[in-house]
Amino acid sequence: MPGLKKSRRYDPPIVTGVPASGGRRKPKAVYFFGTCLVDLFYPGAGLSAIQLLQREGVRVVFPRGQTCCGQPAFNSGYREEARSVAAAQIRLFSGTLPVVVPSGSCAGMIRRHYRELFAGDPLEAEAEDFASRVVELTQFLCGVLDVPLVDRGERIRVAWHGSCHALREAGVEDEPLRLLAQLSNVEVAPLSRERECCGFGGTFAVRHPEISAAMVEDKAEAVSATGADVVLSGDAGCLLNIGGRLEAKGATVRTAHVAEFLWERTRER
């Protein structure tokens, strides 16, 4: 259809990331759900995300009792174990604040699967309410806050890996690329087969290591072929996987979480 922007996203329909409480006005405060992988492996990305939000005048609340969304157990079939961990987060993040998550995978887990996980449970209503307030970081920065970004970094070439769950579960479309497009010295190099899985898949990587290895090798090759200085993603799992393979190959291309990259490029020194 001429004149219409072609959507990169396919059905099934995915909730837009904007929480009801966000609306047109920018929220004054948000919860930040850091996720377990960011907590342990990319805390700098978590802090960067918090600082990006604070710079826009948003009060960021980081409940210290938070742990994990429960996805590892849920995806392995251990629903009882996933539910008890998820329940702890639901109780902790009560109220009406939007919940910003620096991961498409964890945001997708909560938004798409908590309803099913808590069907018939006493916490069902709270779970649905929590899920409806969850929004992935780049969706929030771009869609809700509409952040202006001023690039203060040197010229750099980057590759963007949109994670499977960001694309297909959290409904992240071109928000990360729109944020990157604001950075005048950043060139985004096209990545071949960019929508293809990197082979992480949580426990999949260790349960079927040969298949996972073949997948991450192809992804690492595609990244190397872009000639990028750094490969960015909004998901820590993909970064651990792709970065681990690139490092093992002795490739010079670095990996970084998009939150950390955006903050480091734009913060006043």
Residues 19-58 that bind other proteins (CB under 8 A): 32, 34, 36, 38-44, 46-47, 50
Residue 23: count of CB within 10 angstroms of its CB: 10
Residue 111 or residue 186: which is nearer to other proteins going by CB?
111
Closest approach of other proteins to the CB of residue 148, in Å: 23
Site for other proteins in 105-144 (CB under 8 A): 113, 116
Residue 12 or residue 122: which is nearer to other proteins going by CB?
12
CA angle 115, 121, 125 (to 5 degrees): 55
- Applying CB under 8 A, does 224 fall inside the site for other proteins? no
Pairing of strands 29-32, 254-257: unpaired
- Applying CB under 8 A, does 181 fall inside the site for other proteins? no
Say how far apart CA 253 and CA 131 lie, in whole Å. 36
Residues whose CB falls within 8 Å of the CB of residue 213, separated by 6 or more in sequence, listed in order: 199
Strand partners of residue 39: none
Site for other proteins in 233-252 (CB under 8 A): 240-241, 243-245, 247-248
Nearest-Å Rg of the Cα atoms of the chain is 18
Q: What is the DSSP track for 168-180? A: HTS---SHHHHHH
Cβ pair 23, 239 in contact under 8 A: no
Backbone phi and psi for residue 13, each to the nearest 5 degrees, phi listed first: -55, 135
- Applying CB under 8 A, does 205 fall inside the site for other proteins? yes
Cβ pair 66, 34 in contact under 8 A: yes
Range in contact with other proteins (rule: CB under 8 A) among 61-69, 133-141, 180-188, 224-232: 61-69
Say how far apart CA 21 and CA 24 lie, in whole Å. 9
Residue 125 or residue 213: which is nearer to other proteins going by CB?
213
Residue 103: count of CB within 10 angstroms of its CB: 35
Closest approach of other proteins to the CB of residue 175, in Å: 18
Among 150, 181, 211, 225, the residue binding other proteins under the rule CB under 8 A is 211
Among 58, 66, 147, 255, the residue binding other proteins under the rule CB under 8 A is 66
Range in contact with other proteins (rule: CB under 8 A) among 129-137, 173-181, 190-198, 260-268: 190-198
Site for other proteins in 140-159 (CB under 8 A): none
Q: Which regions of 11-155 does DSSP assign to beta strands (E)? A: 29-32, 59-61, 99-101, 134-136
Number of residues that bind other proteins (CB under 8 A): 81
Among 30, 87, 144, 179, the residue binding other proteins under the rule CB under 8 A is 87
Residue 173 or residue 186: which is nearer to other proteins going by CB?
173
- Applying CB under 8 A, does 63 fall inside the site for other proteins? yes
Closest approach of other proteins to the CB of residue 132, in Å: 19
